[in-house]
Amino acid sequence: MKKKHRNTGKNGKRFSPVRQEDKYETIDEFKEKPGFTVDFLCKTLEIPRSSYYKWKNRAIPKKEIQDNELANIIIEYNKTYDGILGYRRMTMYINHFNQSSYSIKYIHRLMKVIHVHARIRRKHSNYVKVKPEQVGENILNRDFEALWQNQKWCTDVTEFKVIGQKQKIYLSAIIDLYDRRIVSYVLSNSNNNKLVFDTFDLALKTNPGAKPLFHSDRGFQYTSKQFKFKLDQAGMIQSMSRVGKCIDNGPMEGFWGTLKSEMFYGLRWDDETSLREAIVEYINFYNNERLQANLKGMTPNQFGNHANPNLLPLVI
């Protein structure tokens, strides 16, 4: 996943119980440079030469070696995934890709020592208030578990702002509650019926014959008569969140939070084209590379393929 990198983690942190470890490492680093000798460095740092050489020639415990090797792996994963992995997901990724079985507690401790942590998610809500043409009951009723693919879909629209531009980017998406994959999505500069209708049509194209329970909030697109007609034509049952209860659409809200905290917040987006490309790239990453604990450590598409290996791929 391509990202704009920020500084994350501190390289070179040692896990030795030896006192004044940093001073010994400083001597070791500078002693080969012109103008520096071990004697000079030891005197400057007030370290006996004998203590330095004792540290230099000591037998490093296996546990310390393992800590340092694992710390380097953590730093590399933190850089590769641009600081989006908390200690739980960091543990899952390391164990999955390195064929290991480290505990969450162990990884968490090392991450704290080397100052590696995931970015904090921010919460934002945006609403367009219009008088609905028709509304549906909250049939989903926060039952977010699905027993098979295309049993339950949730949908929503979110927005992104580009610095220095009045025009926004709107992202409409549909998520499957069985494997949490993004079934379809569409980007647009207009938050209108076409945006939502195109997303729905794409979902049907890649999932022919699907007749899920279709849940949304009470956004104007979903309460329109035209959209209700499209649902009826597809043989789907409509479900809607209650007024002011965004938690009724929890999985979709959760995906927005994950997407924005991992690829949008904390970065300076002043180019619409780059932002659009990053959103597309992230959704591909989310569906195909982002491991999830609630999916038995698999990605959405990996988990879904166990249920339906003949499912058509999402192509945008």
Kindly tell me if the per-residue pLDDT of 271 is higher than 70.
Answer: yes
User: 93-97, 106-110, 212-216, 260-264 — which one is most confidently predicted on average?
Assistant: 212-216
- Asked whether residue 142 is domain-assigned, the answer is no
Average pLDDT in the chain: 87
Instruction: Give the pLDDT confidence score for residue 22 in this predicted structure.
Output: 82
Kindly tell me if the per-residue pLDDT of 98 is higher than 50.
Answer: yes
Domain C-terminal end among 89, 113, 137: 113
Instruction: Give the pLDDT confidence score for residue 81 in this predicted structure.
Output: 84
Q: How many domains does the chain have?
A: 2
Reduced 3-state DSSP string for the chain: CCCCCCCCCCCCCCCCCCCCHHHHHHHHHHCCCCCCCHHHHHHHCCCCHHHHHHHHCCCCCHHHHHHHHHHHHHHHHHHHCCCCCCHHHHHHHHHHHCCCCCCHHHHHHHHHHCCCCCCCCCCCCCCCCCCCCCCCCCCCCCCCCCCCCCCEEEEEEEEEECCCCCCEEEEEEEEECCCCCEEEEEEECCCCHHHHHHHHHHHHHHCCCCCCEEEECCCCCCCCHHHHHHHHHHCCEEEECCCCCHHHHHHHHHHHHHHHHHHCCCCCCCCHHHHHHHHHHHHHHHHHCCCEHHHCCECHHHHHHHHCCCCCCCCC
Task: Say whether both 292 and 186 belong to one domain.
Answer: yes
- Asked whether residue 6 is domain-assigned, the answer is no
Task: Say whether both 228 and 282 belong to one domain.
Answer: yes
Instruction: Give the pLDDT confidence score for residue 83 in this predicted structure.
Output: 85
Task: Say whether both 159 and 303 belong to one domain.
Answer: yes
Instruction: Give the pLDDT confidence score for residue 185 in this predicted structure.
Output: 98
Domain C-terminal end among 113, 141, 168: 113
Residue-wise pLDDT tens digits, 59-73: 878 888 899 899 999
Domain that holds residue 298: 152-307
Task: Say whether both 163 and 288 belong to one domain.
Answer: yes
Residue-wise pLDDT tens digits, 129-171: 556 667 889 999 999 999 999 999 999 999 999 998 888 999 9
Residue 122 pLDDT level (bands cut at 50, 70, 90):
low
Pick from 97-111, 144-158, 221-235, 273-287: least confident: 97-111
Kindly tell me if the per-residue pLDDT of 17 is higher than 90.
Answer: no
Residue-wise pLDDT tens digits, 206-222: 999 999 999 999 999 99
Residue 264 pLDDT level (bands cut at 50, 70, 90):
very high
Task: Say whether both 156 and 106 belong to one domain.
Answer: no
CATH number at residue 219: 3.30.420.10
Kindly tell me if the per-residue pLDDT of 124 is higher than 80.
Answer: no
